[in-house]
Structure 1
Amino acid sequence: MANDGKREYRTAELAAEAGITVRTLRFYRERGLLPAPRREGRIAWYDERHLARLRTVAALLDRGHTLGGIAELIAAFEGGRDVGELLGTPWSEETTVRLTPEELADHFAGEVTPENLAAALDIGYLAVDGEEIVHISSRLLDAATALVRAGIPLSAVLTAAREVRAHTDALAGMFTRLAREHGVADEGELTRLRPQARTVVDAEFALAMDRRLREAGAHDAPGSGDTPTCAPHKPC
């Protein structure tokens, strides 16, 4: 049946499309894995959103998630901000990335837990658009993926992200105040000065990393932590 031009399925039709039994479909619905269908008398009508959800559940099961874990992920997912809410904020030059839940799981194998998903949604890295997840920045997604693959837990990456967000907000506030205190109050002028502000932050961060690496190298150098030895019969 079609409703407003969209295809709809009866229970048996949806189960067949998803490659599962009617009993399994009803079990998923009871577990909260599937949204309630549209009712028309005693007939339950499902649509493409339900089919997409069933395919997501199947893909996550294939990746080793339990039904309980998937239910928790879906609850966190549905509690996240709608993409329209996040699209109301300027995202500068960042390129957004659209992901299915299973694609997100592939980025962070074994690390997509309800807690981590809720944290990423709360920070504002992720938003929800129907059955898709939208990440606000391809660069941040690539960086987080690389850090996790290097062995840093996603929970630690997200904790660090909160700190970075606080520091960068403070830096942005400082540059904005600096400009306005010296007569640059127009939004267009502030936007044109953004590359200079970013250059300062990039350069200072690079210099700070160099200092940290030198300090770490000096600390790890042979003899750096040894007790000094003295020549025979000579005071130290």
Structure 2
Amino acid sequence: MEELADLAGITVRTLRFYRERKLLPPPRREGRIAWYDEHHLARLRTISALLERGHTLSAIGELTEAFENGRDISEILGLAQPSEETPIRLTPEELADYFEGEVTPENLAAALDLGYIGVDGDEIVHVSRRLLEVSSILVHEGLPLAAVMAAGRRVREHADALAGLFAELLDTYASTTDAERLRPLAKAVVEAELSMALDRRLTKRD
């Protein structure tokens, strides 16, 4: 415990306090000896980083609970299915930097529920680098992260419906091998229709 506290730059008393608050997982025990590893050190450094960013210990405790209750990463990423999206691994500090302090326990829970993020050890895995970067830009433009994710949930509902229409069309008129070949055409139709819909909406606002 003394070695771990020294490496983390905290006192043994603070380390014990974190353990009592269940911010730190228990060590591996061999008889009367307690062994800590790099995962414990990474967790302590994460706690320190979050405290420096203004999070309270209560909020960090909620974040920790959300991390540990995250879905299995293979389920989150849908590893059994091919995807054009590129997952990205982040530390909790890096994720916080993307969203200017808006990584609250509530927003984290919403992201877990949407399947945007999963937890793999001490890392967070976002299912899509593209979605992460777009969401970050929207937040930097002044949109609240909670509103961005709420919109994302609605977009997903419509995207699922559009994908269903395309799949139904292929099931009726095309073979299974045609699906991947024709996939870019479906995306092009959706992108063109969205572009025209935005034109109509923005024209009305003017």
Structure with larger Rg: 1
Aligned to 2:118: 127
Structure 1 contact 91–136 (Cα < 8 Å) conserved = no
Structure 2 contact 100–140 (Cα < 8 Å) conserved = no
Q: Which of 94, 99, 104 is equivalent to 1:108?
A: 99
Aligned to 2:12: 22
Q: Is 1:82 aligned to 2:55, yes or no?
A: no
Cα distance in 2 for partners of 1:90, 1:56 equals 32
Structure 1 residues 27-84: Cα deviation after superposition (integer angstroms, max 9, x where no partner): 0011111001112222211111101100111111111111111111111111111212
Q: Which of 159, 165, 183 is equivalent to 1:168?
A: 159
Q: Is 1:150 aligned to 2:150, yes or no?
A: no
Q: Which of 93, 99, 104 is equivalent to 2:90?
A: 99
Code of the residue aligned with 1:42 in structure 2: it is: R
Instruction: Report which of the two has the higher share of helix.
Output: 2
Q: How much has 1:91 moved relative to structure 2?
A: 5.2
- Unpaired runs of at least 5, structure 2: none
Q: Write out aligned runs for 1:1-236 (5 A).
A: 11-87=1-77, 88-90=79-81, 92-182=83-173, 184-186=174-176, 188-217=177-206
Q: What value does the CA root-mean-square deviation take over the aligned residues?
A: 1.1
- Unpaired runs of at least 5, structure 1: 1-10, 218-236
Which structure is richer in relative contact order (CA contacts within 8 A, separation 6 or more)?
2
Normalising by the residue count of structure 1, what TM-score does the alignment of the two structures yield? 0.84
Identity of aligned residues (%): 64
Aligned to 1:3: none
Code of the residue aligned with 2:166 in structure 1: it is: F
